[in-house]
Amino acid sequence: MEQKFDRATTDRLLLRRPRQEDAPSVFQIESDPRTNQFRPAGPMKNIGEATENINAWQAEWDTYGFSYWIVTLPNNPTVIGIGGIRCIRWKERYILNLYYRFSPTVWGNEYASELAKFAVDLGSNHLSNFPIVARIRSSNVPSLKVVEKSGLKRRHDLDTSEHLVYALGW
Ligand SMILES: CC(C)(COP(=O)(O)OP(=O)(O)OC[C@H]1O[C@@H](n2cnc3c(N)ncnc32)[C@H](O)[C@@H]1OP(=O)(O)O)[C@@H](O)C(=O)NCCC(=O)NCCS
């Protein structure tokens, strides 16, 4: 199972397990105000938070064999995004939470759409015991466009006061 997940390639992207040395790149993407326009908590404030996230993702990789990926282009080590599926508890169930956050320097290339579709395909083929869920604010139009193409279905019945919900397998 782990081999399928921890270093995967899509048509244009390399998806790999996070490393400690990714902290500055993760911080750069997560602290950019442009990538946080729709996140109430606001941008990440210090690199320690990036390290904490990476530690959590690494622990999940060790335990479950999957968590969020670091995204690069195949022949360039520059980190361009973070995303994938991660197991969390929501509405009293374990779900695979679909997430994507890319550097504004690469927006508009359909990379997020490529990642989301790949993650949903992989999750539904190999982790089908768990529903895949994406929760998105109605104002986050780019993210809604990405999820619409991911294979998840709009689920009005699961919406919360803050989020529109898309799911598969629920
Ligand atoms: C959501 C995000 C990952 C999309 O990245 P991206 O690389 O631009 O995504 P894609 O190129 O695959 O597609 C984005 C779609 O949104 C559209 N879009 C981009 N910016 C837009 C804007 N300001 N208004 C309306 N549509 C927009 C693009 O045209 C594209 O539409 P299309 O599928 O009809 O061609 C990126 O905007 C991001 O990192 N946002 C911050 C983090 C975030 O909100 N993540 C989601 C949390 S729920």
Q: Is the pLDDT of residue 15 over 70?
A: yes
Q: Is the pLDDT of residue 3 over 80?
A: no
Phi, psi of 99 (to 5 degrees): -140, 150
Domains, the chain, ranges and CATH? 7-168 (3.40.630.30)
Which of 36, 97, 143, 147 for mutating ligand 1's site (highest number of atoms within 8 Å of CB)?
A: 143
Dump pLDDT digits (tens) for 27-52.
Answer: 999 999 999 999 989 999 999 999 99
Please report the atom of ligand 1 found closest to the CA of residue 104: 39
Instruction: Give the residue whose CA is nearest to atom 26 of ligand 1.
Output: 142
pLDDT at 144: 98
Instruction: Give the residue whose CA is nearest to atom 13 of ligand 1.
Output: 110
pLDDT at 1: 39
Dump pLDDT digits (tens) for 68-121.
Answer: 999 999 999 999 999 999 999 999 999 999 999 999 999 999 999 999 999 999
| Percent of the chain whose predicted confidence (pLDDT) is above 70 | 98
Q: Whole-number mean pLDDT of the chain?
A: 96
Which of 102, 106, 162, 166 for mutating ligand 1's site (highest number of atoms within 8 Å of CB)?
A: 102
103 in contact with ligand 1, CB cutoff 6 A = no
Distance in Å, CA 110 to ligand 1 centroid: 8
Tell me the C-alpha to C-alpha distance, in Å, between residue 22 and each of 6, 30, 163. Answer: 15, 12, 30
Q: DSSP string covering 80-126, please?
A: EEEEEEEEEEETTEEEEEEEEEE-GGGTTSSHHHHHHHHHHHHHHHH
Distance in Å, CA 111 to ligand 1 centroid: 9
Please report the atom of ligand 1 found closest to the CA of residue 136: 48
pLDDT at 40: 87
CA distance 10 to 134: 20
pLDDT at 2: 41
Token pair recorded at residue 6: 């921890």
164 in contact with ligand 1, CB cutoff 6 A = no
pLDDT at 105: 98
Phi, psi of 121 (to 5 degrees): -60, -45
Closest residue by Cα to residue 79 from 9, 123, 21: 21
pLDDT at 92: 97
